[in-house]
Amino acid sequence: MIIVIQCADRIGLVAAISTLLSQKRCNIISMQEHVDKGEQLFFMRVEIDKTEDAEELQQALQEILPDGAIVKVNPEAEKKVIVLVTKEYHCLADILVRNYFKTLGASVQCVIGNHNNLQNICHRFEIPFYYIPFAGDKQGFEEAMRDIIAQYDYDYLVLAKFMQILSADFVGRFNKQVINIHHSFLPAFAGASPYRQAYERGVKLIGATAHYVTDQLDEGPIIAQQIIPANHSHTVQDMVKAGKEIETAVLAKALKLVFDDRVFVYKNKTVVLE
């Protein structure tokens, strides 16, 4: 059973929490905690070896923690996700395969695409696919997505190479639940054609970043980042290909961390308790 706690820091928190668990005869299998001294914030993830009544345990914890504490007991119940895509298959296929073999740590409810070329792979895995073309009317486009999303129970939106910029209004409604994979380079290249810019600049590394989407877009809290080496022999196309491999790996890693309840968000950053 997993317990995650995020609250204001004060002396004695670990003592109070562990004493409560000890009184309930719960053995702690693993416990990671972090304190942001500057912000006076406390973060903890505990795994215990017993199955307690979740609601009761949560209430007991709330009572011994500072006001405003965020406490989740047993969030390990299967998460539900909706995936947004455009044309590129690599991240989606990885998610569909893990979903099919029950190793994703979440259950894919449906896929929404603004192109229809990924419909077939979804159907092969019996996942509903909704094709919502973007015809220049952003408001109508987002409303159509919202109508579909509203039909499902879900915990996270995953932008698996969804190449449309979402409006702050749209994102605002899903705050902290939207996860994106970004083709970010070293140094980071803003604007269009990042791979061409990277090529022109002769970078020796290609990177990718998985992050929560806030209404600032591309600026949300970072969950995971990785890189692979590049060199002069890579054409722009080679860099795009290599980028896809690293994007797939980084998004997979970030989703695993999120679905395992290891990622805490505050201000514009994350604490990842591995």
User: Contact residues for its own copies (CB under 8 A)?
Assistant: 9, 11-12, 14-16, 18-22, 25-37, 89, 93-94, 97, 100-101, 121, 124-125, 184, 186-188, 200-205, 207, 209, 221-227, 231-233, 245, 249, 252, 267-272, 274
Among residues 272, 185, 188, which one has the least CA distance to residue 228? 185
**CB-nearer residue toward its own copies: 109 or 209:** 209
Longest dimension (CA), the chain: 63
| Minimum distance of its own copies from residue 91's CB (angstroms) | 11
State which residue, 71 or 263, has the beta carbon closest to its own copies. Answer: 263
Residue 144 beta carbon to its own copies: minimum distance, rounded to whole angstroms:
27
Nearest to 112 by CA among 92, 138, 132, 136: 132
Of these residues, 218, 238, 260, 261, which one is catalytic? Answer: 218
Q: Tokens representing 206?
A: 């290609």
149 and 166 Cβ atoms separated by less than 8 Å? no
Catalytic, 261? Answer: no
Collect all residues with Cβ–Cβ distance below 8 Å to 264 and sequence separation of at least 6. 4, 6, 43, 270, 271, 272, 273
Instruction: Report the half-sphere exposure of 57 (CA within 13 A, side-chain side).
Output: 27
Q: Which is nearer to its own copies, 100 or 134 (CB)?
A: 100
State the minimum distance, in angstroms, from the CB of residue 82 to its own copies: 21
Q: How far apart are CB 103 and its own copies at their closest, in Å?
A: 8
**Rounded CA separation 248/78 (Å):** 22
Is the Cβ of residue 11 or residue 135 nearer to its own copies in the bound state?
Answer: 11
DSSP 40: T
Residues carrying an active site annotation = 218
